[in-house]
Amino acid sequence: MLSLVLLISCKSKVESIKPTIDDISESIYASGIVKSKNQYQAFASVNGIVEKVFVSEGDFVKKGTPILSISNETQKLNRDNAKLAADFTDFNSNKEKLNEASLFIEFARNKMLNDSSLFFRQKNLWQQQIGSKVEFEQRELAYQNSRLAYYSAKVKYDDLKRQLSFSSSQSKKNLLISSKLESDYTLKSEIDGMVYSLSKLKGEIVGLQSAIAIIGDPKHFILEMQVDEYDIIKIKKDQLVYITLDSYKGKVFEAKVSKINPIMNERSKTFLVEATFINQPEVLYPNITFEANILLQTKYKAILIPRNYILNDSIVMKKNGDKITVKTGLKDFQKIEIISGITADDELIKPTE
């Protein structure tokens, strides 16, 4: 009899709730890090020893500003030699050779015209049986030789012009190549930004595989998030993102999805999604971590119940013990929307397995 009384007493104390009418938003959780806009790692394109460092960490630099230089005495000598060769073979510096060849063409032309005149005069005389055959043949041979000399002079002129033009262009190209190789020994900034990190000092060895500096835009930042492959198909550009940062506890910042990387990271099974701040914090630094909720959709004045009051997202239990199958909609971490099956007036208890 005592057991029956206790059982009835326990049943009478079962907690019940009624659904609430409120707004609900469905979102996807993601975590990530803050990156400055256009942030990149600067690598040297040659091996060597640091000769001079031009900037310090925290400095603002313009695009093209030297970051550091690498010792390159041999390359400087190579560039000097290339410049000497370029000056020596410059087309304008060798125009006298062309002028000389042009004068020779003019001389050959005049001689050809003179020999032509003598030949045709002798030919007319010979047709009139005046003069000797030997004299006629000599005039003919002289004319043919002078004509060949004239055409040969023109060919030599054109060949000399092509050769000078080729040598001049080639030496200038070699100078550009040498200058480019020399410039490779000076690491320069690719953007207007801040030097966030600088890992080398004067006298240290520089290799091709290690980043020398990290440079980025200190005024604009990008939020890089890792989104699970299960959720990626729900993400769209311009979706609203709510951001919380440990550096700004208690504050929520708004951002928008700006880019979805179309390839999955095979190791983490995630996709890289980028967002940009709508209301950016006053002070930010690269690599600060954050947590994000990417808003998918919002429904207003929905019928909501706690998620622990529904079994398998489909069954609720009324206060009288009846199990009811319901149709659900949006859900967040605490509540779930009920589309049909119960009303806001129904009293519910936690369902049992």
DSSP per-residue codes, 196-241: EEE---TT-EE-SSS--EEEEEEEEEEEEEEEETTTGGG--TT-EE
Structure tokens at 329: 């909609």
CA atoms within 13 A on the CB side of 23: 4
Whether the CB-CB separation of 291 and 6 falls below 8 Å is answered with no
Q: Give the number of residues written for the chain.
A: 353
Q: What is the pTM of this model?
A: 0.59
Q: What are the boundaries of each domain within the chain?
A: 14-37+214-349, 44-69+186-210, 80-183
CATH of domain 14-37+214-349: 2.40.30.170
Helix (H) or strand (E) holding 260: strand 253-260
Per-residue pLDDT of the chain (353 residues; tens, 9 = 90+): 333 333 344 444 567 888 888 887 788 889 999 999 999 999 988 888 888 999 999 999 999 999 998 876 665 666 667 677 777 777 777 778 878 888 888 888 888 888 888 878 877 877 777 877 788 788 888 888 888 888 988 888 888 888 888 887 878 887 777 666 667 778 899 999 999 999 888 888 888 888 899 999 999 999 999 999 989 999 999 999 999 998 898 899 999 999 999 999 999 999 999 999 998 998 999 999 999 999 988 878 888 888 888 888 788 888 887 888 888 888 776 788 888 888 888 788 887 76
Whether the CB-CB separation of 44 and 230 falls below 8 Å is answered with no
> Mapping DSSP to helix (H, G, I), strand (E, B) and coil, where does residue 352 land?
coil
CATH top-level class for 44-69+186-210?
A: mainly beta
Which of 150, 148, 288, 132 is closest to 224 using CA atoms?
A: 288
Residue type, 110: N
**Cα–Cα distance for residue pair 226/221, rounded to 1 Å:** 17
Which of 210, 215, 285, 217 is closest to 54 using CA atoms?
A: 215
The backbone region for 18, taken as left when phi is positive above 0, alpha when psi lies in -120 to 50, beta otherwise, is beta
Exposed/middle/buried for residue 90 (C-beta within 10 Å: 0-12, 13-18, 19+): middle
Q: How high is the pLDDT of residue 40?
A: 93
Give the DSSP per-residue string, 54-86.
Answer: ---TT-EE-TT-EEEEE--HHHHHHHHHHHHHH
